[in-house]
Amino acid sequence: MSGECDVISGQCECKPGVTGTRCDECLPDHWGHSPEGCVPCNCNEHGSLSSQCNIHTGHCECRDGVMGMRCDQCEENYFYDSTDYECSKCPACYDLVQNHVNRHRTKLGQLDRLAGEVVNNPHRFLDDKEFERKIPSD
């Protein structure tokens, strides 16, 4: 609020994206009320369910298969279909690739935890054979 208010109506002059007689709320499709004003949501029209985002976080509500603060990215295992302007699920054969990717992610997570153990407790791994027993195998 700039401090200027109409003496008859009581309507104050609001900052950008702000409304209300006392400039105390965001305009539709805006969020993050602050002394500087409110920020436009900019939700992706194709990926979001609405043009209004969460008034506290700015996150838009996304359609299935879509992610990102503004719903402008396809989730993993989805691709952007420019014909229909939406994220479509990848063909079933891609699930074979995805299954391998997920197995690798699991193993990388196990190796990451093991590396943390070695750093935090180096005395537990006195020889290579004990370390090798801890490494995940297929």
pLDDT per residue as tens digits for the range 36-58: 999 999 999 999 999 999 999 99
Rg of the chain in Å (alpha carbons)? 26
Identify the pLDDT of residue 125: 62
Encode pLDDT of 91-134 as tens digits: 887 777 888 888 898 888 888 888 888 788 777 666 677 767 77
Would you kindly state where each structural domain of the chain is located, as residue ranges?
94-134
As a whole number of angstroms, the distance between CA 86 and CA 46 comes to 6
Let me know the angle formed at the C-alpha of 56 by 40 and 78, rounded to the nearest 5 degrees.
Answer: 70
CA distances 54 to 37, 68, 109, Å, are 16, 13, 33
Burial class (CB in 10 A: 0-12, 13-18, 19+), 66: buried
Encode pLDDT of 55-98 as tens digits: 999 999 999 999 999 999 999 889 998 888 899 988 887 777 88
Query: Which residue's structure tokens are 């995805």?
Result: 98
